[in-house]
Chain A
Amino acid sequence: MVAFWILSPIMVASALGILFARKAVHSALLLAVVMISLAVLYAVQDAPFLFVVQIIVYTGAILMLFLFVLMLVGVDASDSVVETIRGQRVMAVVVGLLFGLVLVIGVGQVSLGAIVGLDGANSDGNVPGLAQLLFSKYVFAFEATSALLITAAIGAMVLAHRERLTPKQTQADLAARRMRSYAEQGTQLGPLPAPGVFARHNAVDTPALLPDGTPSEISVSRTLAARGSVRTVPRVAIEGDPVATDHDAPGSHHRDEEQK
């Protein structure tokens, strides 16, 4: 019972966290907490097989599938707070509270009689006991489950499948397109110049210098330029003045000066 009183506040808090978390990833991680705690509660209640299945299937497979899809969909796809039906959120909370109250009071009032316990049923092990039931009394349900799993697998394949609408681009197509854009718009045909490589340091965020000493815009990644983290070329590198840099550590100091 100690495990229950420790875990139940954690579980309720995490479940509420699922409700209030802004980001779906946080909800998924809180759901993992709830599921692992549930697994421990199964173990407390003489269900070692379900304890293992809960951890492997639920936290291991299902929750990882959730996270996988979350990452595919985009982590920052957060909830909209706009209500499509006016007052729906408030009504949902009120009705939910009433429902929970009725459920808790109802469950609390029921007298369950003497608790038999699973010592007798688990006498020759929990897993053999479950297998005995599964392959005798519930064998048709078990067979139906296999059909369900196959249907689910095929369904997922059909839903995730996408027909190719356009022919696949081959390397020859890409080369022809590049040549055409060179002929029509004069875009650069060869590879882009590498970013700054200097005698003392090189960095992807420092543009390369053209023969006349001006920095080349296309030598740094567009992503860095969009972030605004492209460094200016140290004046030393442009002017080629070795005296000023001899006693300095290369790199940061010059850039600091440059930024001032």
Chain B
Amino acid sequence: MSATPFLVLSAILFTIGCVGVLTRRNAIVVFMCVELMLNASNLALVTFSRVNGNLDGQVAAFFVMVVAAAEVVVGLAIIMTIFRTRRSASVDDASLLKY
């Protein structure tokens, strides 16, 4: 079972997530695209773990999942707070610091 197709798929998913972060305006969708990028990197880590024959890659993927969980909790709380004060979840509206 070759490893390259898995890595190519991981690269494609990462790129899609990247474009999503750059183009979408809804903060929650932007967040989902970040999750997609994290997942893509996880796939690469698991694949390299298989290529190298040790479990370090899987441990790294596990840590990525834990950090992603913490990140989602705080990020969604921030989105909720912004939504409560501004009545909008668009990332373009929260530009107060600019002025």
Contacts and interface: CB of A to CB of B under 8 A. Distances in A.
Interface stretch (A45-53, A213-221, A251-259): A45-53
Nearest to A78: B26
Interface stretch (A8-16, A223-231, A236-244): A8-16
A133 B55 contact: yes
A145 B68 CA distance: 11
Contacts, number: 233
Contact of A12 (B13, B54, B55): B13
A179 interface: no
B22 A15 contact: no
Given A24-B28, A66-B31, A77-B26, A160 B77 contact: yes
A69 B51 contact: no
Contacts of A130: 55, 58-59, 62
A38 B12 contact: no
B13 A62 contact: no
A49 B58 CA distance: 9
Contact of A53 (B65, B79, B81): B65
Interface string B14-42: 11111110111110110111011001001
Interface of A: 1, 4, 8, 11-12, 15-16, 18-19, 24, 27-28, 31, 34-35, 38, 41-42, 44-47, 49-50, 53-54, 57-58, 61-62, 65-66, 69-70, 72-73, 77-80, 82, 84, 88-89, 92-93, 95-97, 99-100, 103-104, 107-108, 110, 112-113, 115-118, 120-122, 126, 129-130, 133-134, 137-138, 141, 145, 148-149, 151-153, 155-156, 159-160, 162
23 contacts: A12-B12, A28-B32, A31-B36, A41-B6, A47-B49, A50-B42, A65-B73, A72-B83, A77-B89, A100-B12, A100-B15, A107-B11, A110-B4, A112-B3, A118-B55, A121-B54, A126-B55, A138-B59, A149-B66, A155-B74, A156-B77, A159-B78, A162-B84
